[in-house]
Amino acid sequence: MREIILYFINFTWRYNMKYAIILIDGMADEKIEKLNYKTPFEVAKTPNIDKLAKEATFGTFLTLPDEFPTSSDVANMSVLGWDLKRSYTGRGAVESYGAGILMTPDMVAFRMNLITVKDGLIEDYSAGHISEEEARVLIDYLKENLDTEEMFMGQGVSYRHLLYFKGEKYSPNIAYEKPDSSHGIEWETILPKALDEKAKLTEEKLIKLVYKSKELLENHPINIKRVKEGKNPANIVWPWSGGGKPDMQTFYEMYNKKGAIVSAVDVILGLGRLGEMDIDKPEGATGFIDTNYENKAIAAVELLKKNDFVYLHVEAVDECGHMGDLEKKIDAIESVDKRLVGKFLEVYYKEIGEEIRIMILPDHPVPIRLRQHTRDKVPFMVWGKNVKVDENIKEYNEETCKNGKYTNLKGRELMDLLFANEEI
Ligand SMILES: [Zn+2]
- The domain spans of the chain are 14-88+248-418, 97-243
Q: What is the length of the chain?
A: 424
Q: Is the pLDDT of residue 252 over 70?
A: yes
> What pLDDT, on the 0 to 100 scale, is given for residue 14?
46
Domain 14-88+248-418 in CATH 3.90.1150.10: no
Q: Is the pLDDT of residue 12 over 80?
A: no
CA 278, CA 272: separation in Å to the nearest integer? 7
pLDDT digits (tens, 9 = 90+) for 39-61: 999 999 999 999 999 999 999 99
Q: How far is the CA of 243 from the centre of ligand 1 (A)?
A: 19
Q: How far is the CA of 85 from the centre of ligand 1 (A)?
A: 19
Residues 150-166, mean pLDDT to the nearest whole number: 95
Q: How far is the CA of 71 from the centre of ligand 1 (A)?
A: 7
Q: For ligand 1, a single-atom ion, which residues have Cβ within 5 Å?
A: 25-26, 72, 318, 363
> What pLDDT, on the 0 to 100 scale, is given for residue 9?
53
Identity at 77, one-letter amino acid code = M
Q: How far is the CA of 23 from the centre of ligand 1 (A)?
A: 9
Instruction: Give the relative orientation of helices 72-79 and 266-274 as an angle to the nearest 10 degrees.
Output: 40
Please name the residue ranges forming H helices in 62-131: 72-79, 84-87, 91-98
State the pairing for strand pair 107-118/406-409.
unpaired
CA 54, CA 395: separation in Å to the nearest integer? 7
Q: How much is the pTM?
A: 0.84
pLDDT digits (tens, 9 = 90+) for 95-129: 999 888 999 999 999 999 999 999 999 999 999 99
Q: How far is the CA of 316 from the centre of ligand 1 (A)?
A: 10
CA 266, CA 96: separation in Å to the nearest integer? 7
Going from the C-alpha of 122 to that of each of 181, 242, 395, the distances in angstroms are 10, 20, 39
Q: How far is the CA of 106 from the centre of ligand 1 (A)?
A: 28
